[in-house]
A and B are shown apart, each in its own frame.
Chain A
Amino acid sequence: MAEASHGVGGLTYDKSKRSWPNELNIFIALIIIIVIFEILGQVLPYMNGQSFLFDTQDRFNSIFNEARLRIIILQVAIIGIISLGVTQVIISGGIDLSSGPLVGAAAMIVMSFAQTELVNGNPNPKAVFGDWAFDLPVIIPVIVGLCFGAFIGAINGSLIAFTRIPPFIATLGMFLICRGIAQWWTKGQPVSFPTESFAWLGSGMMPVVWFILLAVLCHIALRYTVYGKHTYAIGSNEDAARMSGINVKRHKVLVYMIASMLAAFAAIILSSKNLTAQTGMGQFYELFAIAMAVIGGVSLTGGRGSIIGTVLGAMVFGAIQSGFTYIKLDAFYQLMAMGTIIISAVVLDQWRQQRAASAA
């Protein structure tokens, strides 16, 4: 593993991967999955020769079925945003289980500050606060949400950095606390009917726009800044990072804060997309976010992985989900197939890593 490791952190830690970047493997896997669905579509008798990715019915102005391309990425964009943060946490050697419930809690809180006064000319039946909280400028719910995320992340990070309890336990506790907050906020009642400007944030393809924008930002931060170098360094070898003068504790708090703020932002987009916030929102999101990162080649032992990989991992998820609906696979089999694919992806990655290590 640690062969050819010189320079700071994980940036130049393994030259054997330079020639054949891990991301390329995931991209190939994505293509293979799409080809499989394409073939199934032609083979299965009830599909009438419909194509998965191409426009065979002349509905669009291109050779592709644009609606399919859009939904593949749209349905993973929100969990994808969480996954960007989770990627950074895992690279730094940690784990964050609290992101799903954080989405639920943040959505409830954010939506309470984004409500409109009149619905179809009637007073809002779901009002949480009094008159003062109606029709606030959109920036207010966004700031409230991000502050809440930063607050939760700071607690996560501080617990892990200063009390030295394992990240798994700290964020598991926060998992329960956030679910509790989500239910306590309105005693379980959903919060609906946001202002138009708030509804715009997650309308149409906006979730994808945010996902790409944030992915680019996170990619730059991880790859080209001191922040990124320190994150890889801590994940690769925490003691070495400390000895070389990195303030490990402060950096960990920062990583968890960024992850939780990304999850809170995902909550903003999710509640805006659905025009409602409900306490059960974000269920299993933490696990899917972790799975996306892992499929994207992020190593759970820390120090290895990239944002590009995670984005591709998210797209693998999107393609599978869309493909299942496309071939009209029974709901019962979907979860089984999904689980099998996640496990095989990681097994394949392990083999490839071991081969690379023994070849080096």
Chain B
Amino acid sequence: MKKLLLTAGLTALIGTTAMAETIGASIARFDDNFLTVMRNGMVDYAAGIDGVDLQVEDATDDVAKQLDQINNFIASGVDAIIVNAVDTSATEAMSQAAAAAGVPLVYVNREPINVDTLPDNQAFVASNEIESGTLAAFEACKMLRAAGKAGGANGYLLMGQLSNQAAVQRTKDVDDVLGMDMCNFVNIIDRQTAEWSRDKAQDLMTNWLSSGESFDVVFANNDEMAIGAIQAMKANGVSMDDVVVVGVDATQDALVAMQAGDLDATVFQDAFGQGEGSVDAALALARGEDVDQKVYIPFQLVTPDNIDDFLSKN
């Protein structure tokens, strides 16, 4: 009898290990360019691993919906959950729900507020946001110095959605860099949000241009807004040689703008790498392996000098 039970138990065990591992992922929104690259990174990577089944849901920027999705994943018995948080301050409830059910949870791209108190089988995979804005702003400062404008320069700052942590952080990074002795010659004339959008940035830049104030630099929280500003400046006859424009993300469109000599610097955030990293972490946690609770994928500065390394990356 004992033997029979043991064999039954063993076969059951073998049965479960042979079964596909399922991961449920909830992404803040599907119509965001960067998150789409990250999502595709997850999907492609998971599809390449035998026996891993990845189900991706769109939280449509809705905090409540995201928590429902996580509870649905738990109810359907997934082996691990990946969350790209809609609201980084609302992650406590998600951590608790997953911990109570004993399901491993990985936060990706956006840093949860409880990142320092995560339960054992939860982790965070992302790039360190402080690097991105700082790298871009510092490069702009160096370019302005090289252009002999260290005696004083004016600039505009295009901010992302104000409710978004990355927009707040990248804006603060610019302020911090401009607070340094080496870069405090740059004066920000005005800062406004263009909500990450190219179209809004175009209109905003055109509005700024209509005031007729001269400026030397445009800081944008992301590349789409930098491109919008560039399009507006070109349409109004501003020479792109006279203005330093920096963005963040290193999207395909931005790299093309850089090749054309319009965009001066951007920062590569490895969206694909973050997607892959989150799947790796989720699988490791599901198998009970040890995982660092904070996995950082580094940012890299992209300028015309090293653009070739990034052309096929995002």
Contact = CB atoms under 8 A, between A and B. Distances in A.
B260 interface: yes
A348 B276 CA distance: 57
A259 to B, nearest CB: 21
Interface in A268-294: 270, 273-276, 278-281
A125 B236 CA distance: 28
A68 interface: yes
Interface string A96-123: 0000000010000000000000011010
B256 A74 contact: no
A331 B193 contact: yes
Interface residues on B, range: 35 or more
B45 interface: no
B296 interface: no
B202 to A, nearest CB: 7
A355 interface: no
B235 A204 contact: yes
B252 interface: yes
B181 to A, nearest CB: 26
A183 B252 contact: no
Nearest to B203: A75
B259 interface: yes
A321 B206 CA distance: 12
Interface in B290-311: 311
B206 A75 contact: yes
Contacts of B210: 65, 67-68, 70-71, 322
A150 B144 CA distance: 51
Given A125-B252, A204-B235, A274 B32 contact: no
B204 A187 contact: no
Contact of B199 (A65, A274, A322): A274
Interface string B18-60: 0000000000011111001001100000000000000000100
Nearest to A323: B207
Contacts, number: 96
Contacts of B228: 274
B168 interface: no
B30 A279 contact: yes
Contacts of B199: 270, 273-274, 281
Nearest to B228: A274
Interface stretch (A7-15, A17-25, A189-197, A298-306): A189-197
Contacts of B162: 331-332
Contacts of A275: 231
A67 B236 contact: yes
Interface in A139-192: 179, 182-183, 187-190, 192
A200 interface: no
Contacts of B206: 67, 70-71, 74-75
A187 B253 contact: no
Contacts of B31: 104, 179, 182-183, 188, 278-280
A353 interface: no
A120 B228 CA distance: 19
Nearest to B189: A328
Contacts of A332: 162
30 contacts: A57-B212, A59-B212, A65-B210, A67-B209, A71-B207, A119-B256, A120-B260, A179-B31, A183-B30, A183-B31, A187-B36, A188-B30, A188-B32, A189-B33, A190-B33, A190-B253, A192-B253, A203-B235, A204-B235, A275-B231, A276-B253, A278-B31, A322-B207, A325-B190, A325-B192, A325-B204, A325-B207, A328-B190, A331-B159, A331-B192
- 7 interchain residue pairs of minimum CB distance: A67-B210, A279-B31, A188-B36, A325-B207, A280-B31, A75-B203, A331-B193
Given A50-B212, A188-B33, A326-B211, 11 more contacts: A68-B210, A75-B203, A104-B31, A122-B311, A183-B58, A188-B31, A188-B32, A203-B235, A273-B199, A278-B198, A280-B29
